[in-house]
């Protein structure tokens, strides 16, 4: 029965290939996209909420929302492969907000861990609202807006400076937070626009441009900044940690998902932008642990890959190769997206 259940789920996507290794890799990866979120309620609809109280609802409650890891691709994929789950996931999100005062950041066993950074629940819920999976759009919007107006996790500094200042956040990772909040704010702006909330739309659209305030044109990198406006120094683009989260300046240059043209404009031209992406693969495969003080697995994986500063095994840079398409060089995206497929299959695609 378990085999039949998984066969049904994996058959939602069918591929045609004579390359058995490619088939195995594909369906293993597809299986991994379905291991979370997890059902977190009993057969009678009862579940323990984020407020530690027992609730009962006429929906399926979920948990295991590793959102910083999954909002980029896994959740959008669910809107294609598992649309029947999305209304319940949306209701779960709104209930979590009502029970803990904010959308989930990283929920495990119904509890908020506050692991990782930003407001990663916002892009997921906004996507569901804008694609028509949420009935109570106003309730979802309230949850997104309230979560973005808190003073925790660097947001107070963001509201003061229009970037998270390195010397105002003891947890650091301030460049990464600024970029993550900018994306979430852009998502809120789009939902506000769809609901006719013009004032909120303008406010969050303005905040979504905060990524520009941590871009240093002289170095060509997103850099840590102090509350007085000066750049954090000394600056080493190869150093992990500090103002970055699970990465360095080479990785966080690209975390402007919501305004790629704006990011291109910071570099001055399509040519300068694609040349910067090219350099990620050609600079030395140097790793300096920095303030983390040791080797974390993402660093080791990047070192073993030997592709300069490209770290496909880590979230902040996984989308980078697709940015070539925005700047007129889609063939580089096509080649790099197939680089790990066996040579016969790659030739057939090309």
Measured in whole angstroms, the distance separating CA 66 from the mean position of its chain's CA atoms is 10
Q: Which residues of 54-81 are buried (b: 16+ CB within 10 A; e: fewer)?
A: ebeeeebbbbbbbbbbbbbebbeebbee
Q: Is the dihedral of CA 235, 239, 241, 245 positive or negative?
A: positive
Q: What is the pLDDT of residue 350?
A: 43
CA 122 – CA 71 distance, rounded (Å) = 9
| Side-chain half-sphere CA neighbours of 232 within 13 A | 27
Nearest of 40, 29, 34, 14 to residue 75 by alpha carbon: 34
Q: Give Cα separations from 105 to 96, 147, 246 (angstroms).
A: 10, 10, 17
> Which residue numbers in the chain have pLDDT < 70?
291-294, 339-350
Q: What is the per-residue pLDDT across 141-153, written as a single tens digit (0 to 9) for each? A: 999 999 999 999 9
Nearest of 325, 326, 238 to residue 279 by alpha carbon: 238
- The model's pTM: 0.94
β-sheet bridge partners, residue 222: 215
Q: Give Cα separations from 250 to 218, 263, 286, 292 (angstroms).
A: 15, 14, 11, 17
Q: What is the pLDDT of residue 314?
A: 84
Q: What is the per-residue pLDDT across 311-348, written as a single tens digit (0 to 9) for each? A: 888 899 989 999 999 999 999 999 888 765 555 554 55
The secondary structure of residue 101, as a DSSP letter, is S
Pinpoint the alpha helices (H) of 46-113.
67-70, 74-81, 86-100
Q: Please state whether beta strands 221-222 and 111-112 pair in parallel, antiparallel, or not at all (unpaired).
A: unpaired
Q: Give Cα separations from 84 to 25, 50, 128, 143, 197 (angstroms).
A: 26, 24, 12, 22, 29
Q: What is the per-residue pLDDT across 165-197, written as a single tens digit (0 to 9) for each? A: 999 998 889 999 999 999 999 999 999 999 999
CA 79 – CA 136 distance, rounded (Å) = 18
Residue 16 tokens, joined: 């045609």
CA 235 – CA 106 distance, rounded (Å) = 31
Q: What is the pLDDT of residue 349?
A: 46
């Amino acid at each position: 029965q378990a085999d039949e259940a998984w066969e049904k789920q994996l058959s939602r996507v069918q591929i045609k290939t004579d390359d058995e290794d490619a088939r195995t890799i594909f369906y293993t990866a597809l299986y991994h996209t379905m291991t979370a979120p997890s059902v977190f309620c009993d057969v009678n609809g009862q579940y323990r909420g984020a407020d530690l109280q027992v609730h009962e609802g006429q929906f399926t409650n979920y948990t295991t929302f590793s959102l910083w890891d999954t909002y980029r691709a896994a959740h959008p994929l669910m809107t294609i492969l598992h649309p029947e789950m999305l209304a319940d996931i949306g209701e779960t999100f709104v209930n979590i907000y009502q029970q803990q005062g904010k959308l989930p950041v990283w929920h495990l066993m119904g509890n908020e861990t506050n692991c990782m950074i930003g407001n990663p629940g916002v892009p997921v819920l906004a996507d569901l609202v804008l694609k028509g999976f949420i009935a109570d759009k106003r309730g979802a919007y309230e949850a997104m807006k309230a979560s973005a107006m808190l003073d925790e996790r660097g947001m107070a500094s963001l509201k003061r400076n229009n970037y998270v200042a390195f010397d105002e956040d003891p947890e650091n990772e301030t460049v990464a937070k600024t970029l993550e909040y900018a994306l979430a704010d852009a998502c809120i702006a789009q939902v506000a626009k769809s609901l006719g909330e013009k004032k909120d739309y303008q406010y969050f659209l303005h905040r979504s441009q905060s990524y520009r305030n941590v871009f240093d044109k002289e170095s060509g990198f997103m850099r840590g900044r102090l509350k007085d406006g000066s750049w954090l120094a000394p600056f080493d683009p190869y150093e992990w940690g500090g103002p970055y989260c699970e990465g360095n300046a080479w990785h966080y240059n690209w975390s402007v998902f919501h305004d790629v043209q704006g990011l291109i404009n910071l570099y001055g031209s399509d040519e300068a932008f694609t040349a910067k992406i090219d350099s990620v693969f050609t600079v030395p495969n140097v790793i300096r642990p920095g303030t983390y003080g040791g080797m974390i697995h993402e660093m080791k994986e990047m070192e073993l890959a030997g592709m300069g500063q490209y770290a496909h095994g880590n979230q902040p840079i996984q989308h980078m190769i697709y940015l070539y398409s925005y700047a007129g060089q889609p063939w580089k995206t096509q080649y790099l997206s197939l680089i790990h497929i066996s040579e016969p299959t790659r030739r057939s695609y090309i």
